[in-house]
Amino acid sequence: MTSQRSVLVTGASTGIGAACVSRLDQLGYRVFAGVRKPEDGDRLRSAGSDRIVPIRLDVTRSDEIAAAARTLDEAVGPAGLGGLVNNAGIAIGGPIEYLGVEAVRLQFEVNVFGLLAVTQALLPAIRRARGRIINIGSIAGRSVSPFVVPYCMSKYAVEALTDGLRLELAGTRIEVAVVEPGAVKTPIWDKGLDSLGDATRTLPPIAHERYGAKLKFFGKLLRYNDERGVPPEQVVDAVLHALEADRPRTRYLVGRDARIRAFLGRILPDRAGDALLLSVLARLERRLA
């Protein structure tokens, strides 16, 4: 990195974001931690050093994005911003046939439009440092699972946005990468369960007839994913490589499940892949019953 090692991490309150802040702080980075609640920033700061600078940043609010960009600009000055880790995200679940469009819009407001807005606001500072942009995507951006379709849609969009940025910024020495974890032990699974529960409670009777048993199983599957997920620190390892390597990768698969799903997606025709996924889910449903 050519800057004075300043990095902004969005969605820094918990999970992958908090793990990124902690590791970067330990390595001597000046870490701007984007949080929605002041108490979350206080907690991060008390657990680390004074190199951690909490910034109030709800990625769906243009006023907070603009204020964060001004704060960062003043803080980093001519040296610019060496890294942006776009981590903020949510997961919305339920049968796509019955999910309200507003719920899907919210999914995109956070995971896609928020990511884009923050990146646009900070690119001037990133240009000065010839810094790095690292987007936290998911294997769900390559391989769809049922009943989390809005989340998968948003992560497919993150893949396209990352590719587009990389192409348009070619020649600027700004590197752009996407990290694609599989299951990770983070609070997003608890929030996903809440989202699935909310969707289930608001479904019409016919939807319960059609999807009720599957939704109950997918609630168990989310808990199962949490139990078998990799620790957030493995995602942080990929983020660090993307920040520090002379020639970073364009994509970082994290976790055995992510690597398997990516491999199968490359070699299997769609219908064969569908049949395999549905067979695996059926076996898991019997196992978790």
Catalytic residues: 151
Rounded to an integer, what distance in angstroms lies between the CA atom of residue 251 and that of residue 27? 23
Nearest to 181, CA basis, from 279, 75, 87: 87
> Could you give phi then psi for residue 32, rounded to 5 degrees?
-90, 115
Query: Residue 134 corresponds to which amino acid?
Result: I
Rounded to an integer, what distance in angstroms lies between the CA atom of residue 153 and that of residue 156? 5
Angle made by CA atoms 281, 149, 88, in degrees to the nearest 5: 115
Alpha helices, DSSP H, located in the chain: 15-26, 38-47, 62-76, 101-108, 115-129, 149-168, 188-201, 205-228, 232-244, 256-267, 270-288
Contact 111, 89 (CB under 8 A): yes
Strands laid side by side in the 251-254 sheet: 52-56, 30-35, 6-9, 83-86, 132-136, 175-181, 251-254
Rounded to an integer, what distance in angstroms lies between the CA atom of residue 201 and that of residue 4? 50
Contact 96, 215 (CB under 8 A): no
Nearest to 252, CA basis, from 270, 240, 264: 240
Name the DSSP class of 212.
H
Contact 140, 148 (CB under 8 A): yes
Q: Let me know if 129 is exposed, middle or buried by CB neighbors in 10 A (0-12, 13-18, 19+).
A: buried
Rounded to an integer, what distance in angstroms lies between the CA atom of residue 284 and that of residue 227? 14
